[in-house]
């Protein structure tokens, strides 16, 4: 491997808790501003967990005060259009969105700009009561560039997304829950624990079925209904060649718990 193991980047911490891979953003003095080394480390860790057969679900988290307050403004303030468009930074958010395994964002405190977009690139969000989501880029002369205009609009609809993006106004955790942006809102003391609980539940499911189901749900956002239904049908059929389908159905008939092997 040409790059060092992902766990070596000091801007992130990684650990595996059984079948759950945990990635913690670790620049607390700047509210986890997402600079190049952090995002490079994050993608490396994500890819390591994605490859590891023992990992069934991944969590990305920050700390109680900040998930991430955006891309690092001090890294971009001098950039020209030509420089910023050559920069590989933005593709790292795309990579998170393309992870084959489920990814949960455990969010507390600020999730702003690129931080909000990082949470939106994940599949589910567990939020603490103190979480705030926003796209404040307009206030510093730019606009969302890592998926915010697209993913927020798909979740919130045009009118609410437009207001957030054009005013930079933040959304509280409760508002985010009402709008369908987050899966649940829990006390700040337990947001990581709740995210882990959800991750362990998913990691206990048959991995091929999880992978196919994730792919099908994501496709629903991109294609028309007929194409989505056709894909779903193909993926459904493909699962009948897995041992876990045989085991799952046999266990139901035999009135016992299934033992999934990922085969
Ligand atoms: C670099 C940042 C930062 C950021 C905070 N800091 N956000 N540094 N980039 N995005 C740093 C501050 O400079 C400060 O460092 C330290 O973190 C603490 O921040 P304070 O502002 O002192 O904290 P507070 O008063 O509590 O205010 C918190 C805040 C504010 C409201 C979140 O920091 C803020 O508005 N941050 C910027 C939010 C933002 O505009 N995000 C979008 C960025 S653009 P020092 O050294 O002074 O102590 C973006 C584009 C995405 O994300 C597209 C992909 C590339």
CA 31 to ligand 1 center in whole angstroms: 7
| Residue of 70, 109, 111, 137 marked catalytic | 137
Integer Cα distance of 22 and 228 in angstroms: 31
Report the chain's mean pLDDT, rounded to a whole number.
Answer: 96
Claim to verify: residue 95 and residue 121 sit in the same structural domain: yes
Claim to verify: residue 184 and residue 213 sit in the same structural domain: no
Beta strands 103-107 and 171-172, pairing class: unpaired
CA 112 to ligand 1 center in whole angstroms: 9
Sheet with 12-17: list strands edge to edge.
12-17, 20-25, 57-61, 103-107, 124-128, 184-186
How many domains does the structure of the chain reveal?
Answer: 2
Contact 148, 111 (CB under 8 A): no
Helix (H) or strand (E) holding 253, with range, is helix 243-253
Taking 70 as the threshold, does the pLDDT of residue 2 lie above it? no
Question: 26 falls in which pLDDT band (50, 70, 90)?
Answer: very high
- Give the mean model confidence (pLDDT) for residues 169-180: 98
The answer to whether residue 97 is domain-embedded is: yes
What would the pLDDT profile of 3-13 be if each residue is shown by its tens digit?
444 445 799 99
| 60: number of Cβ within 10 Å | 27
| pTM for the structure as a whole | 0.96
> CA separation (Å) from 193 to 25, 126, 132, 200?
16, 10, 19, 10
What would the pLDDT profile of 89-118 be if each residue is shown by its tens digit?
999 999 999 999 999 999 999 999 999 999
64 lines ligand 1 (CB under 6 A): no
Claim to verify: residue 164 and residue 234 sit in the same structural domain: no
CATH of the domain at 231: 1.10.12.10
Taking 90 as the threshold, does the pLDDT of residue 77 lie above it? yes
Integer Cα distance of 70 and 93 in angstroms: 12
| Residue of 6, 41, 70, 117 marked catalytic | 117
**Which tokens belong to 193?**
């624990």
pLDDT at 152: 97
Helix (H) or strand (E) holding 121, with range, is helix 114-121
**Which tokens belong to 22?**
């945990």
| 62: number of Cβ within 10 Å | 27
Q: Where are the alpha helices (DSSP H) in 122-190?
A: 148-156, 158-167, 173-178
| Residue of 70, 114, 134, 147 marked catalytic | 114
Claim to verify: residue 161 and residue 197 sit in the same structural domain: yes
Contact 24, 38 (CB under 8 A): no
Taking 80 as the threshold, does the pLDDT of residue 169 lie above it? yes
The answer to whether residue 118 is domain-embedded is: yes
136 lines ligand 1 (CB under 6 A): yes
Claim to verify: residue 146 and residue 213 sit in the same structural domain: no
Domain that holds residue 223: 207-253
The answer to whether residue 2 is domain-embedded is: no
Q: 39, 44, 45: which is closest to 59 by C-alpha?
A: 45
Claim to verify: residue 101 and residue 218 sit in the same structural domain: no
pLDDT at 1: 32
209 lines ligand 1 (CB under 6 A): no
The answer to whether residue 261 is domain-embedded is: no
The answer to whether residue 130 is domain-embedded is: yes
CATH of the domain at 123: 3.90.226.10
What would the pLDDT profile of 195-242 be if each residue is shown by its tens digit?
999 999 999 999 999 999 999 999 999 999 999 999 999 999 999 999
pLDDT at 9: 78
- Give the mean model confidence (pLDDT) for residues 158-173: 98
- Give the mean model confidence (pLDDT) for residues 62-91: 96
Integer Cα distance of 172 and 177 in angstroms: 9
């Amino acid at each position: 491997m040409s790059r060092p193991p992902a766990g070596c980047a000091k801007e992130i911490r990684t650990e595996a808790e059984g079948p759950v891979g945990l990635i913690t953003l670790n620049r607390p003095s700047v509210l986890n501003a997402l600079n190049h080394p952090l995002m490079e480390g994050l993608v490396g860790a994500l890819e390591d967990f994605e490859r590891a057969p023992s990992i069934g679900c991944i969590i990305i988290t920050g700390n109680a005060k900040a998930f991430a307050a955006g891309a690092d403004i001090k890294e971009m303030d001098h950039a020209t259009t030509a420089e910023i468009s050559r920069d590989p930074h933005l593709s790292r958010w795309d990579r998170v969105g393309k992870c084959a395994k489920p990814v949960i964002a455990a969010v507390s405190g600020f999730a702003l700009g690129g931080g909000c977009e990082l949470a939106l690139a994940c599949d589910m969000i567990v939020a603490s009561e103190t979480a705030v989501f926003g796209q404040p880029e307009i206030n510093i002369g730019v606009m969302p560039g890592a998926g915010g205009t697209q993913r927020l609009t798909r979740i919130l609809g045009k009118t609410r997304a437009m207001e957030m993006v054009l005013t930079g106004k933040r959304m509280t955790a409760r508002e985010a829950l009402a709008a369908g942006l987050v899966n649940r809102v829990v006390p700040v003391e337990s947001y990581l624990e709740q995210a882990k609980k959800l991750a362990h539940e998913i990691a206990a499911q048959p991995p091929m079925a999880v992978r196919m189901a994730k792919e099908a749900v994501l496709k629903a956002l991109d294609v028309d209904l007929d194409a989505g239904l056709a894909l779903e049908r193909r993926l459904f059929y493909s699962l009948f060649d897995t041992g876990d389908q045989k085991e799952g159905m046999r266990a139901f008939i035999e009135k016992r718990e299934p033992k999934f092997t990922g085969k």
